[in-house]
Structure 1
Amino acid sequence: MKMKIVNGILIASLTITHKENTKVLHDMIVDTGSAHTWVNLDAVENNLDVAPEDGDQIVTAFGIGGRDIANRKRIDRLEFGTFSVTDFQVDFGRLDDDISGLIGLDLLMAGNFVLDLSRLEMHQAHT
């Protein structure tokens, strides 16, 4: 999968399917320093029903921007390049308007991804 650098930040796309609706997010930051994948509510709230429900968790995330609150919920399906995972937990909260979210270490490790920064590509490791 190809990635790009925008303003010094590594960017890739992620596809989310939940409750029979799908949204492609093109401006996701590949963030190995983020424990969890985080999606900006502004990027999905008109396309996906990610409102809090029974069974969801309210979580607090800490980072360079300070402390943020998110709703952690199980999503029907995530697609990241050729990798696909079902019933995966994603955090939904607010981020800067021009950022669709963060592809966190949880998703990168679930897919056993290798980052090739010299080619700006990512692929799954052969096991």
Structure 2
Amino acid sequence: MKIEIVGGILMTSMTITHKGTTKTLDNMIIDTGSAHTWINLDAVEDDVDVAPEDGDQIVTAFGIGGRDIAIRKRIDRVDFGTFRASDFQVDFGRLDYGISGLIGLDLLMAGNFVLDLARLTLYQTEATTE
């Protein structure tokens, strides 16, 4: 999958499906420093029902911008390049900076992704064990 550098930050797109609604999110930051994938509520709340439900968790994330609160919720599906994950947990919260969210290590590792910075691509590989 092709990625681009915008303002010195790695960006790509991701698609989510939840409760019968599908939404493609552009301006997703590839963030290997983020443990969890985080979606900006401003990018989805008018289109996808992500209201809190029983079983959702309230989580606190710490990062460069300080401390943030999010709802960790299982969504029906995440499509990221050729990778598809069903019943995947995603954090939903507020993010500034005009981005749709962060693609975290949880998604990158689940898909066995390799980040090739020389070619600005992200691709899946077979997991190896040693």
TM-score, normalised relative to structure 1: 0.98
Q: How many residue pairs end up in the alignment?
A: 127
SS in 2 for 1:28: strand
Per-residue CA deviations over 1:85-119 (Å, capped at 9, x if unaligned) read 00000000000151000000000000000000011
Counterpart position of 1:90: 90
* 8 Å contact kept, 1:15–1:79: yes
TM-score w.r.t. length of structure 2: 0.96
TM superposition outliers: structure 1 runs of 4+ over 6 Å: none
Letter in 2 for 1:87: D
Could you say which residue in structure 2 is the equivalent of 1:118? 118
SS at match of 2:54: coil
2: CA distance, partners of 1:96 / 1:66: 12
Distance 2:51 2:120 in 1: 34
**Secondary structure at 2:98 match in 1:** coil
Distance of 2:97 and 2:34 partners within structure 1: 19
Q: Which residue of 1 aligns with 2:26?
A: 26
| Aligned partner of residue 107 in structure 2, secondary structure | helix
Report 1:1-127 matches (<5 A): 1-127=1-127
1:30-67 residue CA offsets vs partner (Å, 9 max, x unmatched)? 00000000000000001100010000000000000000
Structure 2 gaps, min length 5: none
Taking only aligned residues, the RMSD between alpha carbons, in angstroms, comes to: 0.7
Which piece of structure 1 moves more, 117-126 or 28-37?
117-126
Give the CA deviation at 1:126. 2.7
Asked whether the equivalents of residues 42 and 97 of structure 1 are also in contact (C-alpha less than 8 Å), the reply is no
